[in-house]
Amino acid sequence: MQALRRLRPVTAAFIGCAAFPAAAAYNGTDSYQDLANTTLECATAMQYSEDHGEPLRFSSAVLFDEFRELEREHGVSREVAATWAKEQFDSLTANMTQSQAEDYIYDTAALCEELTIEREDRRIAAERQQAHEQGGEINVPFLREHFAANRNPRLIADYIVDRHPGGKGRMGDPIPEGEYLGELVVEIGKLGVQALSDAAIVAMITDPYWQYNPPATRLATEEYQRRLRVLKFNQRDAQAWAGRVQAERRSEMQSMAARSAERWGSSVKCTNVAPKGLEGKSYTSCRTLDRYGQ
């Protein structure tokens, strides 16, 4: 994102006084509709920036997901939010040229991104402290923190599909790591998904990991199809290839724990788990060590 333009003071004054979604969690003083209004405004501005050559470090898809969650959980109105955002934009840009109005959108997107990242940093710091105190198996807060610090989605995706072979099952309850895998796929986008391993892509196509996340499903499916095109595989070839990838992953399971621990670092210990009577359901479990190294 290039430096904020001369309109930033106007943008900052407007966004700063609103119930901006990235500034803090809902505090009970602003309505959920207020929160939805600014969430949709930010998501729309960020999407415009992404679509017009101003790449962001934080995807607009995340805020669109947060808006949809507000719709589901609190019954907010998309129509009201869209009308509010349009009225604000029309009011603030009434005396601007087209170029100035476009700059305003870019500035709004940049500030929304900045505040959203600050919110995520605070949440991650709190979760990191809790994880350090307690130790225990790697969980979603740990994975979020690790990704924020290391930007290694391949490691995280590999861990989740190795930890949960078969995903959540077709009729199974959601699993937190699976839901996070879907979020991660959306966050890293098309180019990021291309960096994931064949094993992770095949697992996401073969088994359900998230309950409902159409953008993640679309990205994983498109990447799977892209790899098939590169390999020039027909449907029969594709099935054989997916089978080989899964078989190779299972054969690597014995050495997976040691390799996983090396990749995570000295604060993590990994073991292989082979449940009795469940052939082919072995998995790798990693846990963070507590303050005493246990």
What is the reported pLDDT for 259? 63
| Distance set, CA 205 to CA 209, 217, 232 (Å) | 9, 8, 18
Domain map (residue ranges) of the chain: 8-125, 137-288
What is the average pLDDT across 215-233? 92
Long-range contacts of 171-176 (CB under 8 A, 24+ apart): 172/208, 174/210, 174/211, 175/209, 176/139, 176/140
Model pLDDT for residues 59-99, shown as the tens digit of each residue: 888 899 999 999 999 999 999 999 999 999 999 999 999 99
- Single-letter amino acid code for the residue at 14: F
Model pLDDT for residues 5-21, shown as the tens digit of each residue: 433 443 443 443 343 44
Task: Give the confidence band of 290 by pLDDT, cuts at 50, 70, 90.
Answer: low
What is the reported pLDDT for 162? 84
What is the reported pLDDT for 17? 37
Q: What angle do CA 287, 288, 291 make, to 5 degrees?
A: 140
Question: In the numeric block, which tokens belong to residue 100?
Answer: 């100035």
Collapsed DSSP state (helix, strand, coil) of residue 272: strand
Nearest-angstrom CA–CA distance, 202 and 134: 34
What global pTM score does this model have? 0.53
Strand partners, 288: 136, 268
Q: Is 65 left (phi over 0), alpha (psi -120 to 50) or beta?
A: alpha
What is the average pLDDT across 147-167? 89
